[in-house]
Amino acid sequence: MKIGFTTSLPVEVIFAAGHTPIDLNNIFIQNNPIIQVQKAELSGFPRNICAWIKGMYSIIKNTDIELMIGIVQGDCSNTHSLMSILSDENKKILPFSYPYNKDKNDLDKEISKLEEYFNVSRKQTQEVKNKLDNIRKKLILLDELTWKENLVTSFENHLWLVSSSDFNGDYIQFEKDLDNFLINVKTRDKKPSLNNKIRLAYVGVPPIIEDLYDFIETLNARVVFNEIQRQFSMFYIEEDIVEQYFKFTYPYSVFDRIKDINNAITQRNIDGIISYTQSFCHRQLDYISFKKHISIPILQLEADQPQKLDARTKLRLESFIEMLG
């Protein structure tokens, strides 16, 4: 079965059951996202609802994905209504929760429920996890080649890390592609001039703006830390699956995220932060905590529809990077 999901979850279980996990966000953004949003709006989705929710709805409606796992705790309250709409349209849905209280036993129970549904033992889950961890170690290397060696671009870093939420549905092929990419990257010329560029962190959900990273690299700057994308890559390499998803900062308190961001600021020598939020998203409120607990300059960006950067946002980015310089 092709199994869609609304944000990162223990894909190990889905792979262990012999199914294909599909991160609905990744499929949406790669397949005519403007059209997908319009289709949802024609079905009655309001203008002022997040475009990712509309995109995921259209993908479920118009593809052969047989089951959608909705993350009902730790991601987005819109998912509840999305699941109601889809179940009313006879789509199969399944809930998964990251416990609000961040209790390890509760998380263990959630993973067990998923295993029971797919008829998979913990041993089978762990076996797949070991294979995925080998790939994740290579993603750590790719990340280091971004921030230590300047060999991987901001966009490449974003794309590889964000794609590791579902390994493009086929982790064997993903690993082969990654191996080829890493071989290729190591033959690239090192550009010492990149060391002088402004070093940025990108924090927040992945951008709906298609040319953000490319534009930043045309300025005197590069992104050396993609916060949430790196979280999706599960770089913790914990032995136990519960420990791994317990360390995942995205579904829990904003303060876990702030700790991770502040560590990266020091480790990666970051000059400034681009904090991105989607229009109509509750995560816009996180900016209040970021301003309070992060001491380097932050530029808050917001976008609504899948599109290229508008002139105003370009100007704001230019001014921010100039100011950092």
Q: Which residues are at the interface with ligand SF4 (CB under 6 A)?
A: 50, 52-53, 75-76, 78, 205, 278, 281, 283
> What are the start-end ranges of the H helices in 187-233?
212-218, 227-232
CA distance 158 to 143: 9
- Whichever of 26 and 278 has its CB closer to ligand SF4, that residue is 278
CA distance 284 to 276: 8
**DSSP type of residue 170:** -
Which is nearer to ligand SF4, 67 or 82 (by Cβ)? 82
* Shortest distance in whole angstroms from residue 52 CB to ligand SF4: 4
CB of 98 to ligand SF4, least distance (A): 13
Q: Min. distance of Cβ 43 from ligand SF4 in angstroms?
A: 17
Least CB distance to ligand SF4 at residue 154 (A): 20
Closer to ligand SF4 by Cβ: residue 36 or 278: 278
Closest distance between ligand SF4 and the C-beta of residue 280, in Å? 6
Please, which residue, 10 or 55, has the CB nearer to ligand SF4? 55
Helices (H), 21-103: 24-30, 33-42, 51-62, 78-88
Write out the two tokens for 217: 């690299």
Residue whose CB is less far from ligand SF4, 175 or 256? 256
**Could you tell me the smallest distance in angstroms from the CB atom of residue 281 to ligand SF4?**
3
| Residue (of 17, 18, 24, 1) closest to 166 by Cα position | 24
Instruction: Provide the minimum distance between the beta carbon of 59 and ligand SF4 in the complex, in angstroms, as a whole number.
Output: 13
Output 46 or 192, the one with its CB closest to ligand SF4.
46
Provide the minimum distance between the beta carbon of 77 and ligand SF4 in the complex, in angstroms, as a whole number: 7
Helix and strand numbers, DSSP H then E, in the chain: 15, 8
Q: Rank residues 53 and 242 by Cβ distance to ligand SF4 and give the closer one.
A: 53
Nearer to ligand SF4, 164 or 278 (CB): 278
The per-residue b/e assignment along 279-303, b for 16 or more CB within 10 angstroms, e otherwise, is ebbebeebbeebeeebeeebbebeb
Task: CB nearer to ligand SF4: give 76 or 107.
Answer: 76
Bridge partners for 221 per DSSP: 198
Residue 187 identity (one-letter amino acid): T
From 62, 69, 64, select the one nearest 23 (Cα to Cα): 69
Pairing verdict, β 272-278 and 221-226: unpaired
Contact (CB, 8 A) for 270 and 201 = yes
The DSSP element (H or E) to which 134 belongs, if any, is helix 122-147
Stated as kind and residue range, the H or E segment containing 95 is strand 92-97
Question: What DSSP element (H or E) covers 245?
Answer: helix 241-247
Report in angstroms how near the CB of residue 34 gets to ligand SF4 at its nearest: 16
- Which regions of 124-229 does DSSP assign to beta strands (E)? 198-203, 221-226
